[in-house]
Amino acid sequence: MSTISPIHRTPSLKKEEIKKGWFIVDAEGKTLGRLCSTVAARLRGKHKPQFTPNQDCGDNIIVINASKVVVTGKKNTGKIYRHHSRFPGGLSEIPFKDLIKINPERIIMEGVKGMLPKSKLGDKMLTHCRVFAGTDHNLEAQKPVKIDI
């Protein structure tokens, strides 16, 4: 019959109370899956003590050197990225070793997208991730802080 004290309540953040930061991650020499899972967790905001599952409380992440990410085992030749145009015979397949030369940003984005919620909120969180193949990026004005993964 006791009432719950306001001290013991779980905080639920409102949209106005969320503070987003800008962080930069260097993907050179990092394993693809471990990098993507860490970036996805930061985009979601799970590293913050005020994490609220139904709010976009994560940070903005910039990933550089996407073309220098590594994979383990036989994934370099065996991992295949598929896309279907929804027309008959519209299946496109490209192996990892070719895609890393053509479009390395897509590799990171697809890995992170698969680790975010499959909802409108997950789609919004994915827009806060920016991936660049090299070291140059156009987001210096946001003064991103470098983090090690």
Range 19-146: architecture per CATH: Alpha-Beta Complex (3.90)
Strand spans (E) along the chain: 22-26, 60-64, 80-84, 91-95, 129-131, 145-146
Q: Where are the domains of the chain?
A: 19-146
Question: Averaged over 107-120, what is the pLDDT?
Answer: 97
Q: What pTM value is reported for the model?
A: 0.89
- The angle subtended at Cα 112 by Cα 107 and Cα 118, nearest 5°, is 125
Q: Coil, strand or helix: which one is 80?
A: strand
The 10s digit of each residue's pLDDT in 20-67 is 999 999 999 999 999 999 999 999 999 998 888 999 999 999 999 999
The 10s digit of each residue's pLDDT in 78-90 is 999 999 999 999 9
